């Protein structure tokens, strides 16, 4: 499961995290540091082709909330 959080230890305002459900329990969330910025990452969505899409106001783009993708 991909989600955002502003929990302590993050890179910026809100960061992307991933956690997997294994043996009936959720594994400790992993901060996706290589994707996060000092700004806010938001609205993670996994498409049918397994690409992760998300919005960010901290990564270089056109300004405001830009949409990014990663495999």
The pair of three-digit structure tokens given for residue 24, joined into one six-digit string: 């009936």
Query: What are the structure tokens assigned to 49, written together?
Result: 């082709």
> For every one of its 71 residues, what pLDDT tens digit does the chain have, with 9 covering 90 and above?
999 999 999 999 999 999 999 999 999 999 999 999 999 999 999 999 999 999 999 988 888 899 999 98
Structure tokens at 13: 């305002």
| 8 Å CB contact between 13 and 6 | yes
C-alpha closest to that of 19 among 36, 2, 43: 2
Q: Are 17 and 3 in contact (CB under 8 A)?
A: yes
> Looking at the 3D structure of the chain, how many domains does it have?
1
pTM of the prediction?
Answer: 0.91
Q: What's the domain range around 61? A: 2-70
Distance CA 6, CA 22 (A): 24
Say what the pLDDT of residue 61 is. Answer: 87
């Amino acid at each position: 499961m991909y989600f955002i959080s502003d929990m302590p230890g993050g890179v910026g305002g809100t960061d992307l995290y991933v956690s997997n459900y294994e043996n009936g329990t959720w594994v400790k969330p992993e901060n996706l540091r290589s994707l996060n910025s000092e700004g806010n990452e938001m609205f993670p969505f996994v498409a049918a082709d397994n690409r992760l899409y998300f919005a960010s106001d901290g990564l270089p783009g056109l300004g405001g909330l830009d949409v990014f993708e990663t495999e």
